[in-house]
Amino acid sequence: MTAIRPVRKAVFPVAGLGTRFLPASKSVPKEMLTVVDMPVIQYAVNEAKAAGIEHFIFVTGRNKHVIEDHFDLQPELQNTLADRGKQDMLDVLATHQPEAGATSFTRQQAPLGLGHAVWCARDIVGDEPFALLLPDMVMKSRDGRECMESMMNVYRTSGGNVIGVQECHPDEVSSYGIVEQGETVAGGFRIDGMVEKPSKEDAPSNLYINGRYILQPEIFDLLENQERGAGGEIQLTDSMLRLADSQDFFGNIFTGETYDCGSKEGFIAANVSFALQRDDTGPAVREIIAKLMG
């Protein structure tokens, strides 16, 4: 039996223009907009770190240098906080600071889709399995175990490729990539098929792909010659369907909440939800909501 190789690296596609958040995203990358007091991208990085990821790869674009700065040390800020005795704030910064050499950045020079963004990370990932996290999708666990951590638990038994999925209302399947659920495997299930945005009548289930993946490196060879699909872009799903001809795919159902922070409504919902669960902001936010609902 072939040994299951560990997943050490994660890819974060952050090159999108964020046009739905103009004018804010004209100068501030949408991944740096904050949910309460933490940038959207930090939630994805923290999730990957909790799952055991050691190396964080960001596929960026023009005017995204602030993301690189965010994950760098800022001696002036740290010295100022130290001089003022703000140890609690220093501890927060240290918690979110990657180890030296644990981040890499590469450019997606043209907006050719998610598949192309993943392909741009090929030389940094190399010949090993990797995690892929779409930062717009901010997850909130109900049981303390993050989505990627649960997927890793499935992967360590199943190997192959693992996709995070969630239930949606049957009327919403046409908005998502939907998977066909097969036999139960190691806390997850075998994926017997994937369909992009099916009609309600043609959908094999109501389990949608939620923006979390563990993929084998053979996906890069397929992405390199992948024909453009929907929207004239290189679609990751198209290459996954081709990879499924020779490799197993498994699904893991995440039972927490997922907020699409690429939309204004999802971004606002995430801010309210995360603010309500915190001791320092929850009581005040509840009062504010009560007054607004009047």
78-135 tens-digit pLDDT = 889 898 888 988 888 888 888 888 999 999 988 888 999 999 999 999 999 999 999 9
* 229 vs 166: which has the higher pLDDT: 166
What are the b/e assignments for 190-227, b being 16+ CB within 10 Å?
bbeebbeebeeeebbbbbbbbbbbbbbebbbebbeebe
Confidence of residue 279 (pLDDT cuts 50, 70, 90): very high
What is the rounded CA–CA span in Å between residue 196 and residue 174? 8
Q: Reply yes or no on whether the pLDDT at 1 is more than 60.
A: no
Q: Is the pLDDT assigned to residue 137 strictly greater than 80?
A: yes
Cβ proximity of 108 and 60 under 8 Å = yes
**Band of the pLDDT at 43, cuts 50, 70, 90?**
very high
User: Cα–chain-centroid distance for residue 164?
Assistant: 10
Rg value, the chain, Cα: 20
* pTM as predicted: 0.92
Distance CA 191, CA 89 (A): 44
Mean pLDDT score, 213-220? 96
Are the beta carbons of 230 and 178 closer than 8 angstroms?
Answer: no
Both tokens of 268, joined, read 């606002």
Q: Between the CA of residue 115 and those of 102, 169, 209, what are the distances in Å?
A: 23, 27, 15
Residue in this structure with the two tokens 């997943």, named with its chain if needed: 7
Q: pLDDT band at 62, cuts 50/70/90?
A: confident
Which domains are assigned to the chain? Answer: 9-293 (3.90.550.10)
In single-letter form, the type of residue at position 174 comes to S
| pLDDT higher at 185 or 219 | 219
Q: At what angle do helices 40-50 and 147-158 cross, to 10 degrees?
A: 40
